[in-house]
Structure 1
Amino acid sequence: MEPCEVGAPLDGPAVGRVLASRPGSNAEGFAPGDYVVHVLGRRDPAVLDAAGTQKVDPSLAPLPAYLGVLDVPGLTAYIGPERFAKIKEGEL
């Protein structure tokens, strides 16, 4: 991510809901009401390029989980000890 400028909105991971999708754009597969994860931070509204979003399903996990345990922090928490520290069961 680029450094933020004073007074500019902060970029970062966020969950949003699709309000509208421009017909004929690269937003195929996204419909009003869909939930997505993006990296433009908390903006109201956020105008997004579909290429920079990922559809998420709130019936599979609570929406905040897509910013934590199901995102980079969760992956880091799993892979760090598992693959790099090579911690074995009973060592913690």
Structure 2
Amino acid sequence: VAAARAILGETVIRRGTDPLPVRDPLPVVLPQQLAEQLAAAHQAQVEAQQQQVAAQAAAAQTPVRAQPQSLPPQPRRGADGSAMQQLGLN
């Protein structure tokens, strides 16, 4: 943000000799060095996105090992039956 403000603070507007209608945007021409930096940053961003998509695709193709399923807990019963059976409530 600070760099952008510094750039805008030193920006010079050259309207040229051609008349332009009111509220028409002025053409913007970036300095060569800034244009190269923006192009390089855009290319790096595109490559990072491509790597992320490739990593997600590779992760989707990797087989997932099946986890052994644990059996549901069985009711605890003694030799005489469950506690409810021993009380005669069941």
Q: TM-score range by the shorter chain?
A: under 0.3
More helix by share: 2
Normalising to structure 2: TM-score of the pair? 0.27
More strand by share: 1
Normalising to structure 1: TM-score of the pair? 0.27
Higher-Rg structure is 2
Larger RCO, structure (CA 8 Å, separation 6 or more): 1
